[in-house]
Amino acid sequence: MDSATFRDKLFDAGVLIPTGIDGLYGRSGTFEDVVLALGNLVTRVSADNAWTRVRFPPLLSRKAFEGTDYLKSFPNLTGSVHTFMGDDRKHAELLALVDAGADWSPALEPAEVVLSSAACHSLYPTLTGTLAADTVRYDLSGYCFRHEPSIDPARMQSFRMHELVVLGDTDTTHAHREDWVQRGLDVMASLELPAEAVVANDPFFGRAGRILAAGQREEALKIEIVTAASTEQLTTAVISCNEHKDHFGVAFDISTRDGGVAQSACVGFGLERLTLALLRAHGFDVADWPSGVRATLWP
């Protein structure tokens, strides 16, 4: 079954609800129950450490966003938010554009926010200064946006990511990334999903991006756990283990307590992708899922 056929089946069963936009779907109550259970599972399997649980809205400060190199690396995935700030006269001009079926964006101005593309991107700008401890650990979860319309239901434009983020020294952040490759594989086994860990790269844009991607792979900074989410192939990344080195520490002026630049690492769980992989592997009737999987999700 190809991914388009799988999407049709999800639509037909009411598990996903089409909106006319590839990658933007409503979710059934059952789908949401699985998403919620997966978030709780991440909390349980990470409980051997203490995490500061923080939740951010799906938006990020434009100024903080401009402080990163996201526009350099992923301009095509960006979601910049624009709004109308004019008076009655300007409003009439806006409505005339809309009525004419024309592009009405010239009547808008940039708002103070952009859409977040990763749950952890909202965190780093709040940590400018010196870390409160040698190592700080955050549990984050929220909606992310990436403009990559696709008929593959596992490639949504708006989706949730649950993240475990560590900031501190090089050894600690490297260990976090390393540790969670195996832990991620264990999570997949407990969900009875096929999985393998592969060296990966972010989808850097354009000619310069190819060099960045090659560098990232060479240093093995990104390890993805892939599974079969919308086809039989193990091609969909569902858990991503990333070492950022001093990338965010430099961008947001975050220091360790001994005065060095803070290093960071994160492991991200794609909640919609994991849910799709479960639905594909175990069927659309959650009550009929293998008892081991149900016990893992709803202990």
Q: Return the SS3 of 98.
A: helix
User: What gap in Å lies between CA 151 and CA 3, rounded to an integer?
Assistant: 7
Site string for a copy of itself, 167-186 (x = CB under 8 A): --------------------
Which residue from 57, 129, 203, 290 is in contact with a copy of itself, where contact means CB under 8 A?
Answer: 57
Length in residues, the chain = 299
Within 10 angstroms of residue 158's Cβ, the number of other Cβ atoms is: 18
Which residue from 8, 9, 24, 181 is in contact with a copy of itself, where contact means CB under 8 A?
Answer: 24
Q: How far is the CB of 76 from a copy of itself (least distance, A)?
A: 5
Within 10 angstroms of residue 210's Cβ, the number of other Cβ atoms is: 12
Which residue from 2, 12, 13, 32 is in contact with a copy of itself, where contact means CB under 8 A?
Answer: 32
User: What gap in Å lies between CA 56 and CA 79, rounded to an integer?
Assistant: 16
Q: Which of 56/284 has CB closer to a copy of itself?
A: 56
> Which range, of 89-97, 180-188, 222-230, 262-270, touches a copy of itself by CB under 8 A?
89-97
Half-sphere exposure of 133 (CA within 13 A, CB side): 10
Binding to a copy of itself by residue 60, rule CB under 8 A? yes
Q: Residue 47: is it exposed, middle or buried by C-beta count within 10 angstroms (0-12/13-18/19+)?
A: exposed
Which residue from 4, 45, 108, 261 is in contact with a copy of itself, where contact means CB under 8 A?
Answer: 108
Size of residue set near a copy of itself by CB under 8 A: 72
Q: What is the DSSP letter of 289?
A: S
> Which range, of 137-145, 191-199, 226-234, 278-286, touches a copy of itself by CB under 8 A?
137-145
299's tokens: 């202990």
Which residue from 1, 13, 71, 250 is in contact with a copy of itself, where contact means CB under 8 A?
Answer: 71
Binding to a copy of itself by residue 77, rule CB under 8 A? yes
